[in-house]
Chains A and B, each alone.
Chain A
Amino acid sequence: MKIVVGLLLVVEVYPLIWMFLTSLKSNSDYLNNSTWSLPSHWEWGNYVDAWTTGHIGLYVRNSLLAVVPSLALILLLGTAAGFALQIMVWKGRSLTLLVFLAGMMVPSQMILLPLFTVYFQTGLSGTLWPLILTYTGTGLPLTVFMMATYYKSLPRELFEAATIDGAGILRSFWTISLPMVRNALLTVGLVQFFFIWNDLLIALTFTNSQDLRTVQVGLLNFTGDFGATQYGPLFAAICINVFGTLVIYLFLNQKVMKGLTSGAVKG
Chain B
Amino acid sequence: MHRVLGDRRAIAILLGPALLVYSLIMLVPMVWSLGYSFTKGNTIDGFTGNGLANFSRLFSDPAVHDALWFTLKYAVAVTVGQVVAGYLLALLYVFFLKRASALVRTLVFFPVVLPTVAVGLLFQRFFQVAPQTGPVNSLLNAVGLDSIDFFGGAGHAFWVLIIMDIWRSMGFYAVLLFAGLVDIPDEVLESARLDGASGLRLIRHIVLPLSLPVLMSSLIFSVNGTLKVFDSIVALTNGGPGNGTTPLTLYMFQTSFTYGDYGYGSTIALLLTVVCLLVTLVVFRVSRRDLTES
Contact = CB atoms under 8 A, between A and B. Distances in A.
B17 A267 contact: no
B230 A200 contact: yes
Contact of B21 (A19, A136, A248): A136
B30 interface: yes
A113 B11 contact: no
B15 A84 contact: yes
Interface string B200-215: 0000000000000010
B74 interface: no
Interface stretch (B55-63, B119-127, B152-160, B184-192): B119-127
B287 interface: no
A113 B269 contact: yes
Contacts of B228: 107-109
A47 interface: no
A36 B138 contact: yes
A89 B2 contact: yes
Nearest to A143: B18
Contacts of B234: 200, 204, 220
Interface in A83-99: 83-85, 87-90, 96, 99
A201 B22 contact: no
A241 B115 contact: yes
Interface in B95-135: 96-97, 104-118, 121-123, 125-126, 131-135
A210 interface: no
Contacts of B253: 109, 201, 204-205
Contacts of B273: 106-107, 109-110
B107 A12 contact: yes
Interface string B8-35: 1011011101110110111111101100
A175 interface: no
A203 to B, nearest CB: 10
B204 to A, nearest CB: 19
A142 B221 CA distance: 13
A81 interface: yes
Interface string A157-193: 0011001000011100100000000000000000000
A35 interface: yes
Contacts of A67: none
B25 A111 contact: yes
Contacts of B123: 15
A65 interface: no
Contacts of B10: 84, 88, 168-170, 173
Contacts of A140: 18, 21-22, 26
B269 A205 contact: no
Interface of B: 1-2, 4-8, 10-11, 13-15, 17-19, 21-22, 24-30, 32-33, 36, 43-44, 89, 92, 96-97, 104-118, 121-123, 125-126, 131-135, 138, 167, 171-172, 175-176, 179, 214, 217-218, 221, 224, 227-228, 230-231, 234-235, 249, 252-253, 256-257, 262, 265-266, 268-270, 272-273, 276-277, 280
19 contacts: A5-B96, A31-B131, A88-B11, A109-B228, A110-B270, A117-B43, A133-B21, A170-B14, A198-B115, A205-B253, A215-B115, A234-B121, A241-B115, A241-B118, A242-B114, A249-B110, A261-B176, A267-B221, A267-B224
